Chain A
Amino acid sequence: MARFAPEVAALGVGLGFRPSFRADLFRQRAQVDFLEITADHYFNAPPEKLDELDLLAAHFPLIPHGLDLSLGSGEGIDPAYLDQFATLIRRISPPWWSEHLAFTRAGGVSIGHLAALPCTQEALDAVVRNVEAVRRAIDIPLILENVTATVRVPGGEMDEAAFLTEVLRRTSCGWLCDVTNLYTNAVNRGADLDRELDRWPWNRVVQMHFAGGHWRDGILIDSHAYPTSPEVWRLLDEAVARSSVKGIILERDENLPPFGDLLDELARARAIGSRHGRWH
């Protein structure tokens, strides 16, 4: 059974693939080590979309990233969605794949976004059950991403760091550390992340995300719409120093800049990894 896999080779730095920059990506492909693809975009996909997937796979290592598996749902996961995910993973055989530590569906309602889990024993048990169900269908290491928690659900029995650590321990999953989400949650809660860094499970990191957000009405929004902030760059450096990260992905979804600006951010992330000996 595929578990947390620290022995996999490092991939380097890459981009969350967006079709709008496909031409630029192929023109500059030497500067992008790997791609993260949104798995959902290739479910029940038309042949042209699957051609795109095959083209990407012929030129880059691909890591599928899911949005709607709803691993934290108390009512379990959707078997049809899981089947589609398993089919995609069989097609591209990635070294690992990822999903969010969140719920996106409940009571027949599709939320359309990633909702944070209550940090309770019951939620922890639900995630463990769901990951076990997933592993019966997909025998490739799964890593879990921390999300932004705009809404804090009352009744928490532990904080986010303790919850994540326990989830990773009980599921034997690796951590997709979203550095921007870590920073965003800390800022929005008025927490001093520097003082809490030792409490996060850095030894479980396989991959990282970074991106830029924006402020609205005094709240930092993880919008993936702006350049990475100096504070997130500093945190990324600290996170890479503390972990044996295998790959770092820049996420940019909205307000896309010239492709060269994205490559500049990748070069900076690559330099951070090199400085800490994560790759050459």
Chain B
Amino acid sequence: MALTHVQAILARLFTDDAFRASFFHDPVTVGCALGLEAAEASALAELSRNEVEEFAAIIRRKRADDARKVLPLTARALGGAFDRHVLSTIVGAVRPGRHRDDARALVDLLSRLARSNELESPWTADLARYEVTFGEALQRSACLLVRRFRFPVARLAAAIHCGAPTGDIKPRMTIGIWLRVPGRRGIVHRIW
């Protein structure tokens, strides 16, 4: 079989749910449409759907674990809901070198859910945005980032880090800045 064609098909099968469903509905037709000879397409049709689904699930699981490392406090705050939310945002392939994209997609989802009052703790959206902003600042050689939050996110982060209760933390308009100066180590961070 033509290796480049086969690997291109496999890469899509592992990362694209809709393509995977289409392929296993009629693998020979899809294989031929993507450049395989009929005999090659017939051979590739012997792929085990269970194995492919399992590998796709492993990839999604790995991406969710990577997002957890970017947003550890958010993951702790959300508990079991973290996996449910982040897995719902993982669609298609990750862009090379952009492993933080899944964390950003989760931040966007949580922000939407907070706006529509669908989050049990609406401050989790602010907390996630607070965490992801540190990563954004670290990845740049120079930047000034300004973020506005509905909740006192630094206090929330400290409470979750220590395992302290968060029930008495009420909404309070908060502004955070992240400054990274070219040629200097570290980030200047202030929050009001």
| A residues at B contact (CB < 8 Å) | 43-44, 46-48, 51, 68, 73-75, 78, 81, 103, 105-113, 115, 118, 120, 122-123, 126, 150-155, 217, 219, 221, 253-254
Q: Check: B46 CB closer than 8 A to any chain A CB.
A: yes
Given the known inter-chain contacts A109-B15, A219-B54, please indicate yes or no for A154 contacting B46, CB distance below 8 A.
yes
CA distance A126 to B45 in the complex (A): 23
Binds A, one of B91-99, B122-130, B149-157, B161-169: B91-99
Do residues A152 and B48 form an inter-chain contact, with CB atoms below 8 A? yes
- Which residues 53-96 of B have a CB within 8 angstroms of A? 54-55, 58-59, 62-63, 65, 93-96
Interface size on B, residues (CB 8 A): 41
Contact of B59 among A111, A120, A153, A219 (CB under 8 A): A111
CA distance A46 to B136 in the complex (A): 11
> What are 11 A-B contacts with C-beta separation under 8 Å?
A46-B140, A48-B138, A73-B7, A74-B2, A105-B96, A107-B11, A118-B6, A120-B3, A122-B3, A154-B46, A253-B65
Distance between B40 CB and nearest chain A CB, rounded to angstroms: 8
Interface string of B1-35 (1 = CB under 8 A from A): 11110111111101110000000000000000000
Do residues A109 and B4 form an inter-chain contact, with CB atoms below 8 A? no
Given the known inter-chain contacts A46-B139, A48-B138, A154-B44, please indicate yes or no for A109 contacting B51, CB distance below 8 A.
no
Distance between A110 CB and nearest chain B CB, rounded to angstroms: 4
CA distance A153 to B7 in the complex (A): 10
Contact of B7 among A43, A103, A152, A154 (CB under 8 A): A103
Q: Check: B52 CB closer than 8 A to any chain A CB.
A: yes
Do residues B3 and A111 form an inter-chain contact, with CB atoms below 8 A? no
Contact of B3 among A81, A108, A123 (CB under 8 A): A123
Do residues B51 and A150 form an inter-chain contact, with CB atoms below 8 A? yes
Contact of B51 among A51, A74, A108, A151 (CB under 8 A): A151
Summarize B's interface: helix, strand, loop or mixed: helix
CA distance A113 to B177 in the complex (A): 35
Q: Check: B121 CB closer than 8 A to any chain A CB.
A: no
Do residues A111 and B11 form an inter-chain contact, with CB atoms below 8 A? yes
Q: Check: B43 CB closer than 8 A to any chain A CB.
A: yes
A-B residue pairs, 7 tightest by C-beta = A107-B8, A74-B3, A106-B7, A109-B11, A74-B4, A154-B46, A106-B11
* Sample of 17 more A-B contacts, CB < 8 Å, known A73-B7, A111-B15, A111-B93: A43-B97, A44-B97, A46-B141, A81-B96, A109-B11, A109-B16, A111-B11, A113-B62, A115-B11, A118-B6, A120-B1, A151-B10, A151-B48, A151-B52, A151-B55, A154-B45, A155-B1
Nearest chain-A residue to B57 (Cβ)?
A216
CA distance A126 to B7 in the complex (A): 12
Distance between B134 CB and nearest chain A CB, rounded to angstroms: 12
| Residues of A contacting B7 in the complex (Cβ-Cβ under 8 angstroms) | 73-75, 103, 106-107, 115
Given the known inter-chain contacts A154-B44, A155-B1, please indicate yes or no for A110 contacting B93, CB distance below 8 A.
yes
| Residues of B contacting A155 in the complex (Cβ-Cβ under 8 angstroms) | 1, 43-44
CA distance A118 to B51 in the complex (A): 14
Given the known inter-chain contacts A107-B11, A109-B11, A153-B47, please indicate yes or no for A126 contacting B54, CB distance below 8 A.
no
Nearest chain-A residue to B1 (Cβ)?
A155
Do residues A46 and B138 form an inter-chain contact, with CB atoms below 8 A? yes
| Residues of A contacting B15 in the complex (Cβ-Cβ under 8 angstroms) | 109, 111-112
CA distance A81 to B97 in the complex (A): 10
Do residues B4 and A75 form an inter-chain contact, with CB atoms below 8 A? yes
Do residues A110 and B96 form an inter-chain contact, with CB atoms below 8 A? yes
Nearest chain-A residue to B90 (Cβ)?
A112
- Which residues 105-134 of B have a CB within 8 angstroms of A? none
| Residues of B contacting A43 in the complex (Cβ-Cβ under 8 angstroms) | 97
| Residues of B contacting A73 in the complex (Cβ-Cβ under 8 angstroms) | 7
| Residues of B contacting A118 in the complex (Cβ-Cβ under 8 angstroms) | 1, 3, 6
Distance between B82 CB and nearest chain A CB, rounded to angstroms: 14
Do residues A153 and B10 form an inter-chain contact, with CB atoms below 8 A? yes
Do residues B11 and A105 form an inter-chain contact, with CB atoms below 8 A? yes
Do residues B4 and A112 form an inter-chain contact, with CB atoms below 8 A? no
| Residues of A contacting B141 in the complex (Cβ-Cβ under 8 angstroms) | 46
Q: Which of B8, B9, B96 is packed against the most chain A CB atoms within 10 Å?
A: B96
Do residues B14 and A115 form an inter-chain contact, with CB atoms below 8 A? yes
CA distance A247 to B12 in the complex (A): 36
Do residues A113 and B52 form an inter-chain contact, with CB atoms below 8 A? no
CA distance A153 to B3 in the complex (A): 11
